[in-house]
Amino acid sequence: MTDSRTRQERAADPVTVLGLGAMGTALAGALLAGGHDVTVWNRTAARAEPLVARGARAAATVEEAVTASPLVIVCVLDDDAVHQTLGPVTPALADRALVNLTNGTPAQARATSAWATGHGAHYVDGGIMAIPPMIGHPGATVLYSGDQAAFATHRETLERFGAATFLGTDPGAAALHDLALLSGMYGMLGGFLHAVAMVGTEGGKAAEFTSALLIPWLNTMMTALPEYARQIDAGETGGHDSNLAMQSVGYVNLIEGSRAQGLRTDLIEPMRNLIDRAVAEGKGGEDLQGLVPLITAGPPAA
Ligand code: FVH
């Protein structure tokens, strides 16, 4: 699937986008802005209208959409929706590059890859590390894995969305790293939401607190991560600065203080549970890095 044409010659390559929710619309919009010949399809046909007004062609059926372009991008709600969309049109998939930017698990990516490849498609899985307004702008990154030749052939088109990072030929790799990054994001956002709720109980404004105190604090803490990561890779569990026995005592204040302010503690309980378990297992002298082996061990037996 190598392509020796120049970037300019590839600029108007036809591309199909299946799924025109917030993200699919942003992806199709970036392709239109890049000068591509874009065919779109959505289960609810009316959602194609704004893109048609910008120059896209709306296909009447999924089959018509898939056969319109050598590169087919699918971005729908979930894995079931991918298969409900493409399942009835498998003969049309042969020789297409199918890039699936629907959020899913590594297992789903591997199964969909085997399924699509079995129908003759060149399958690339992807994880979008951006929200729709970021697509096509600096800061957006999309992770890809799977068919390397298909990725290389369409790389410049895929770069219309943002930086394109290829993580290898295992189709599950992009989903694994996507979920890992989302876990980092939800951890941060969960902390943010609890923090602004706490300050708000005494009339504090989220905007002022966030700019003046929270962001500088999180930025400072972020500088510790590379050393934590090095220790985790080396199998070291810390124990020099902020041991878990101390943190389990201090964490009680976070829980009790939140309750006293009338807050729910759902967002902060899980970390406390893990710290307490580590201490109960004799790891009180370790630092937070020591929690990774507990996470890796999987859920405790019932
Ligand atoms: N939006 C975001 O911030 C995140 C950023 C990171 C990547 N995610 C993932 O992208 C996928 C699509 O998300 P979305 O934001 O476009 O989602 P919605 O706006 O809710 O649109 C959903 C589209 O999926 C279609 N759809 C749902 N079920 C089916 C089905 N059974 N068969 C065919 N299409 C289906 C839906 O169609 P319709 O309701 O308009 O007819 C929309 O096109 C997703 O995996 C995110 O996790 C977004």
Which residue segments constitute the domains of the chain, with CATH numbers given? Answer: 7-168 (3.40.50.720), 177-296 (1.10.1040.10)
* pLDDT on residue 124: 98
> Residue-wise pLDDT tens for the chain (302 aa)?
556 665 656 667 899 999 999 999 999 999 999 999 999 999 999 999 999 999 999 999 999 999 999 999 999 999 999 999 999 999 999 999 999 999 999 999 999 999 999 999 999 999 999 999 999 999 999 999 999 999 999 999 999 999 999 999 999 999 999 999 999 999 999 999 999 999 999 999 999 999 999 999 999 999 999 999 999 999 988 767 899 999 999 999 999 999 999 999 999 999 999 999 999 999 999 999 999 999 999 987 77
Please write down the long-range contacts of 39-45, taking CB distance under 8 Å and 24 or more positions apart.
39/14, 39/15, 39/64, 39/65, 39/68, 39/69, 40/16, 40/65, 41/16, 41/17, 41/65, 42/18, 43/76, 43/85
- Residue nearest to ligand 1 atom 44, measured at CA: 77
- Residue nearest to ligand 1 atom 6, measured at CA: 128
Centre of ligand 1 from the C-alpha of residue 256, in Å: 39
* pLDDT on residue 3: 60
* pLDDT on residue 137: 95
* pLDDT on residue 237: 82
Non-local CB neighbours of 92 within 8 Å, separated by 6+ positions: 62, 63, 66, 67
Centre of ligand 1 from the C-alpha of residue 35, in Å: 24
* Helical segments of 169-282, H only: 173-200, 206-209, 215-222, 225-233, 244-260, 269-280
